[in-house]
């Protein structure tokens, strides 16, 4: 599935593939009230990565529900709505607004965007994270995913905290805080100074975070961060993920998601593995210590 913020079919031309092949569509984070986002420039390339500081431009939840959500639901895949709040109360209001909509399969709580100005980032504060998740949990019966930050001492402990507060899954990870400097102007290359690093450089960080999360929490983990090849996909499953999201790879290869779906099918066929579930079972078996190792 696409990572939130990387799949825009509302303002974009026609898609180059049938979106119904995707496991789900995760839409760009929506806020309670309209906001413009961060000043340009918003993107800067790095070695093996990309820094973005978009700042979540949003039409607000009401306009989103009325005008944008129907565009995504018409694509034929389950729709996951990502929401971003500035307080636990805002997360609860956002979730409540989506609760009665049959077209929304699940809600991803963006608790970890490094590109907006929080008083405190929920994904970096265990108490605030639990407050946000718990209040959202009280506002809906829909599945809730907590999107976590890599910029903490232990992603696993934050995943465990999200589980205790009522999250049904964790999305691991968001981008990591970063910056680049233009040596000619001697100024930051991003208008907001810092942004979030994504792309291949993030993959090893994401793998460690997924492993940490799956060894602390007993809820599914959706792996995201730097995935661009079928080998990356398999590695993320091997780290413990139940599903994967693709982000930056789709910027330079709009066919990245259907390509990876096809390559994963061929990988499984070549290995004599019938399904993703069988692959996960083999991973679990291979990682179970033998009697000699114990």
Give per-residue pLDDT as tens, 120-158. Answer: 899 999 999 999 999 999 999 999 999 999 999 999 999
Residue 268 has pLDDT above 70, yes or no: yes
Give all domains of the chain, ordered by start, each with its CATH number: 19-38+54-178+201-287 (3.20.20.70)
Q: What is the pLDDT of residues 184-225, one digit of tens each?
A: 999 999 999 999 999 999 999 999 999 999 999 999 999 999
Q: Quick check: is 170 catalytic?
A: no
Query: Is the CB of residue 68 less than 8 Å from the CB of residue 45?
Result: no
Q: Which residue positions form the known binding site for FMN?
A: 4, 28-29, 110, 147, 173, 199, 225-226, 247-248
Residue listed under structure tokens 């929080």: 118
Catalytic residue among 9, 113, 132, 170: 113
| DSSP codes, 211-260 | HHHHTT-SS-EEEESS--SHHHHHHHHHTT-SEEEB-THHHH-TTHHHHH
Buried b (16+ CB within 10 A) or exposed e, 13-50: eeeeeebeebbbbbbbbbbbeebeebeeebebebeebb
Residue list, annotated binding site for substrate: 28, 52-56, 110, 174-175
Chain centroid to CA 104: how far?
Answer: 17
Residue ranges of the annotated binding site are 4, 28-29, 52-56, 110, 147, 173-175, 199, 225-226, 247-248
Whether this model's pTM surpasses 0.85: yes
* Structure token digits, residue 40: 């340009």
241, pLDDT greater than 80: yes
């Amino acid at each position: 599935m696409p990572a939130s913020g990387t799949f825009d079919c509302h303002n974009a031309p026609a898609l180059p593939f049938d979106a119904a092949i995707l496991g789900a569509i995760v839409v760009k984070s929506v806020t309670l009230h309209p906001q413009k986002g961060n000043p340009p420039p918003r993107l800067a390339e790095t070695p093996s990565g990309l820094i973005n500081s978009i700042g979540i431009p949003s039409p607000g939840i009401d306009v989103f529900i009325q005008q944008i959500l129907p565009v995504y639901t018409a694509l034929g895949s389950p729709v996951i709505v990502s929401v971003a709040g500035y307080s636990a109360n805002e997360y609860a209001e956002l979730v409540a607004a989506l609760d009665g909509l049959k077209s929304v399969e699940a809600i991803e709580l963006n608790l970890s965007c490094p590109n907006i100005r929080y008083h405190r980032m929920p994904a970096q504060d265990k108490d605030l994270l639990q407050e946000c998740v718990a209040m959202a949990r009280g506002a809906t019966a829909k599945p809730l995913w907590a999107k976590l930050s890599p910029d903490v001492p232990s992603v696993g402990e934050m995943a465990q905290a999200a589980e205790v507060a009522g999250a049904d899954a964790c999305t691991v990870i968001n981008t990591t805080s970063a910056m680049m400097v233009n040596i000619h102007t001697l100024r930051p290359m991003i208008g907001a100074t810092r942004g979030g690093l994504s792309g291949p450089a993030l993959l090893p960080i994401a793998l460690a975070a997924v492993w940490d999360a799956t060894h602390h929490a007993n809820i599914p983990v959706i792996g995201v961060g730097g995935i661009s090849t079928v080998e990356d996909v398999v590695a993320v499953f091997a780290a413990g993920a139940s599903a994967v999201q693709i982000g930056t790879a789709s910027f330079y290869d709009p066919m990245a998601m259907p390509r990876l779906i096809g390559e994963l099918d061929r990988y499984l066929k070549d290995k004599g593995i019938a399904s993703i579930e069988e692959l996960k079972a083999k991973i679990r078996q291979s990682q179970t210590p033998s009697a000699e190792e114990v």
